[in-house]
Amino acid sequence: MATDLFTPVTLGSLELSNRIIMAPLTRNRAGEGNVPQALNTEYYTQRATAGMIITEATQVSAQGVGYPATPGIHSTEQVAGWLKVTDAVHAKGGRIFLQLWYCGRISHPSLLPDQQLPVAPSAIKPEGEAVTYEGMQAFVEPHALETGEIADIVEQYRVAAHNAKSAGFDGVEVHAANGYLVDQFLRDSTNRRTDRYGGSLENRIRFLQEVIQAVLQAWEPGRVGVRLSPENSFNDISDSDPQTTFNFVAEQLSELGLAYLHVVEGDMTTGEAEMDYQQLRKRFGGHYMANNGYDFELGQASVKNDQADSVAFGKLFLANPDLVERFAQSAELNEPDVETFYGGDAKGYTDYPFLEREEAVV
């Protein structure tokens, strides 16, 4: 039988009912103290038929915050809030991973403890503006981490990974994409360091490797994934040779026995893709999860042609809580409401309609 999006798959040490993955989607609807609330529980539970849910990016510490009303996994209250989410998803038969996040220079002092500067591998101010509680404000020049300070951030990941286990997650995804801190170390436009964390590919990947090793103190490798975005220019980031850089990253990650490699293919801002992503898949050698711009037809073709093992869908899951069923029935899809993507209440979050079901006649 041919493999397609509806074929069950083993992901690390988990059995998934299908290969239709819910991508991580920042929605800015966490409660006070960046604690997941009842509305978040409803949102994720509605989408539990996904082969697996990857949560919205979740900061590993108060220093990792980069946006208002985004959840964390570093306080007792946050862990308790997430446990309600995971319990509800599991009650529906779903699987759910937590995405571990540290924004780095893509933040603002007003969002951080004691108005401290955001941190980064190098003191390079990003172009653009930060989203703050006071509105849009220009990014600031970040504090370049001293060599001795990096271990403290790695430790924050270790604690967060343990907290994710306490919160009932099935696993975790290390967010190494989209211009945030790990990505800032990987790419040469943002990493100008001259110590053992900068310069060569072996040095630029060191922070990611240390983060993963910290996470593996809480989780077996088959419950850990990594997300990359080699060509994405979002958050004013780039690399002079992304094919070479990320081929190397994929090769190094292949040695760890991780659950999957989740790749944002191409540039989210332009829609262009110039790299050969099959080179990454070949070098990683494990479960390859494709992402960015996929619809049902493209996703089906990718899995059927053995170009991906699963496909992560973002905006389609945002607007269609029953996306798996709609795909199966070739049903019309709800259109996402862009105005309600970030922040707000139930509108554009939990009020998207499900397919109408015919009531059984008694």
Catalytic site positions = 180
Long-range CB contacts for residues 120-123, cutoff 8 Å, separation at least 24 = 120/144, 120/145, 120/181, 120/184, 120/190, 121/145, 121/184, 121/185, 121/190, 121/191, 121/192, 121/193, 121/197, 121/198, 121/207, 122/190, 122/191, 122/192, 122/193, 122/198
Tell me the C-alpha distance between 229 and 267, whole Å: 8
Q: Is 291 helix (H, G, I), strand (E, B) or coil?
A: strand
Tell me the C-alpha distance between 203 and 73, whole Å: 28
Tell me the C-alpha distance between 194 and 25, whole Å: 35
Tell me the C-alpha distance between 139 and 66, whole Å: 11
Backbone angles phi, psi at 308, to 5 degrees: -155, 155
β-pair partners for 260: 225
Q: Identify which of 14, 120, 87, 100 has the alpha carbon closest to the alpha carbon of residue 54.
A: 100
> What burial class does residue 251 get, using C-beta atoms within 10 Å of its C-beta: 0-12 exposed, 13-18 middle, 19+ buried?
middle
Contact 225, 97 (CB under 8 A): yes
